[in-house]
């Protein structure tokens, strides 16, 4: 801290300097306010569904690039003893679960291959594959979490069994409910992480209707919004498949 | 009449201070939009809820409800600017030597208490000070540590799988989230006290944060002060 004594002339100079500083200060406040207004008035990227301002989306996409580039598909999420899993599993969201036109007996999982052939796979076929269980801290994007237990077939085992090697070379997997009301898009490294399962059991029993009977996705490296319930169709693409919550302004990646 | 100029805050310090203000405001605001989606914190004694974070009127006043997606988008964009500004400040303070004025020394904690008593009019004289008094040293250093705490717990909540080690360091997901929340409340309290102190400290002190210097009229016994005083 420097102190100087100055005469009248220099004192006037400092007063002028002080005035300029305040003018600059108010210009900066105006600029900041203007930028804020500009950002908030940018068109939303989700069209009629809402979404978020395009500049924000661009940064979220850059965040995604950063975190996918550091993602290690062999790294495992912490698992808990099965006994720690809650019995009363929270139900959140029912998009795509309307049972009016849904007949469980007719359900078959449809896999659209890259040559556009479609495989139809029954629940019994899926249950016949090696079973993997995962007990982990399920995290909802809203901020709550629960230790839950799930059983099903590891997605990578499933893909190997059905000869989906070519599809696994693409960048994204898309999944839709039978009524196409709910849909997610997921990056390939996350879907091939060994704890990601096509899940048909919760706490050792078949999935309840409100948890997505007969088959849902459990992908522990993502927030709950990506754990689509009642999968109808799975397809593969190099482009990002449509994603229900991303269209409504959420981060597309939502990995954690 | 002679005038004393005290050069107080460096240009870089002023820039970073004023940039931090809107950034922190945006972080707190967007954080509130996120917190609303799972607003479980409250202060209870027995079964009586003393404070619920936050009451309905509060949410409605700030238009918080049903804006989780928006809150996350702003939070995860502006976090970069907030972190960068904080990082620049820490680096600048270290390399410019300004840390000498800022970091508390051996005497600071005792003196900070004396400053507090003086502020509350329980004590007459101030302990000696340079750029910042002892209470400011403690508070301004603490706020930097709090910022670091927010970054660490924030990253742990943001990427609890990829940064699993950081989450473990924080004591788990729930603990990290509580710390992140409490630190935010801390900023708001800091802000309130800060504003009161700035008002009490007066115009010259505020001018120093904008222009960098204070202009102090020095009273000389024999000096003819009448003319200059009109200015």
Residue B228 has pLDDT above 50, yes or no: no
Q: How far is it, in rounded angstroms, from Cα B128 to Cα B145?
A: 25
A206, A212 contact by CB (below 8 A) = no
Residue A119 has pLDDT above 70, yes or no: yes
Cross-chain CB nearest to A1 (options B8, B22, B76): B8
CATH 3.30.420.40 fits B3-229, yes or no: no
> ipTM score of the complex?
0.90
Q: What is the pLDDT of residue A77?
A: 94
Angstrom CA distances, A64 to A58, A68, A101, A251, stand at 10, 6, 37, 9
Kindly report the nearest CA distance between residue A175 and chain B, in angstroms: 22
Q: Positive or negative, the Cα torsion across B164, B169, B174, B179?
A: negative
Q: How far is it, in rounded angstroms, from Cα B6 to Cα B3?
A: 10
Cross-chain CB nearest to A3 (options B4, B18, B177): B4
- Which range, of A48-62, A94-108, A118-132, A175-189, averages the lowest pLDDT? A94-108
Query: Do B2 and A144 count as a contact with CB atoms less than 8 A apart?
Result: no
B61 reaches A (C-beta below 8 A): no
Cβ neighbours around B5 below 10 Å, total: 20
Structure tokens at A123: 């629940």
Listed by start position, the domains of chain B span 3-229
Query: Do B160 and A139 count as a contact with CB atoms less than 8 A apart?
Result: yes
Query: Do A50 and B69 count as a contact with CB atoms less than 8 A apart?
Result: yes
Q: What is the pLDDT of residue B110?
A: 81
- Which range, of A164-178, B110-124, B135-149, B179-193, averages the lowest pLDDT? B110-124
B220: confidence class by pLDDT, cuts 50, 70, 90: low
Helix (H) or strand (E) holding A146: strand A145-154
Q: Which long-range contacts (CB under 8 A, 24 or more apart) does A86-89 make?
A: A86/A146, A86/A147, A86/A148, A87/A203, A89/A146, A89/A148, A89/A202, A89/A203, A89/A211
Residue B229 has pLDDT above 60, yes or no: no
Residue B222 has pLDDT above 70, yes or no: no
User: What is the pLDDT averaged over residues B54-71?
Assistant: 94
Peptide bond into A214 cis (omega under 30): yes
């Amino acid at each position: 801290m420097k102190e100087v004594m100055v005469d009248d002339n220099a004192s006037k100079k400092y007063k002028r300097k002080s005035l300029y500083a305040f003018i600059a200060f108010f210009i900066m406040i105006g600029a900041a306010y203007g930028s804020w207004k500009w950002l908030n008035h940018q068109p939303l990227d989700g069209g009629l569904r809402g979404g978020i301002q395009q500049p924000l989306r661009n940064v979220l996409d850059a965040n995604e690039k950063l975190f996918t580039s550091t993602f290690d598909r062999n790294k495992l999420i912490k698992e808990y003893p099965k006994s720690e899993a809650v019995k009363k599993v929270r139900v959140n969201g029912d998009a795509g679960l309307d049972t009016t036109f849904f007949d469980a007996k007719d359900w078959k999982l449809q896999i659209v291959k890259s040559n556009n052939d479609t495989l139809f796979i029954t629940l019994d076929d899926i249950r016949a594959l090696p079973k993997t269980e995962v007990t982990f801290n399920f995290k909802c994007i809203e901020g709550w979490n629960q230790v839950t237990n799930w059983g099903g077939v590891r997605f990578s085992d499933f893909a190997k069994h059905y000869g989906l090697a070519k599809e696994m070379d693409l960048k994204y997997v898309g999944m839709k409910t039978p009524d196409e009301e709910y849909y997610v898009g997921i990056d390939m490294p996350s879907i091939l992480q060994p704890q990601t399962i096509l899940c048909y059991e919760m706490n050792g029993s078949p999935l309840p209707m409100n948890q997505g009977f007969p088959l849902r996705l459990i992908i522990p490296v993502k927030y709950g919004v990506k754990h689509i319930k009642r999968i109808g169709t799975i397809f593969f693409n190099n482009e990002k498949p449509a994603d229900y919550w991303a269209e409504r302004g959420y981060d597309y990646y939502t990995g954690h | 009449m002679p005038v004393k100029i005290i050069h107080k805050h460096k240009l870089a310090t002023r820039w970073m201070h004023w940039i931090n203000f809107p950034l922190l405001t945006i972080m707190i605001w967007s954080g509130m939009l996120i917190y609303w989606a799972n607003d479980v914190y409250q202060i209870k004694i027995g079964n009586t809820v003393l404070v619920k974070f936050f009451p309905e009127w509060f949410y409605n006043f700030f238009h918080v409800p049903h804006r989780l997606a928006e809150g996350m988008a702003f939070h995860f964009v502006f976090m970069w600017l907030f972190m960068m500004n904080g990082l620049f400040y820490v680096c600048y303070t270290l390399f410019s030597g300004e840390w000498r004025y800022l970091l508390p020394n051996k005497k600071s904690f005792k003196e900070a208490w004396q400053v507090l008593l003086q502020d509350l009019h329980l004590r007459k004289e101030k302990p000696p000070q340079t750029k910042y008094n002892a209470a400011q040293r403690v508070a301004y250093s603490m706020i930097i540590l709090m910022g670091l705490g927010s970054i660490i717990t924030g990253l742990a909540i943001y990427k609890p799988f990829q940064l699993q080690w950081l989450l473990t360091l924080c004591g788990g997901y729930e603990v990290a989230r509580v710390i992140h929340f409490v630190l935010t409340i801390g900023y708001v309290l800091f802000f309130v006290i800060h504003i009161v102190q700035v008002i009490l400290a007066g115009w010259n002190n505020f001018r120093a944060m904008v222009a960098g210097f204070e202009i102090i009229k020095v009273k000389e016994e024999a000096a003819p002060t009448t003319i200059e005083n009109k200015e």
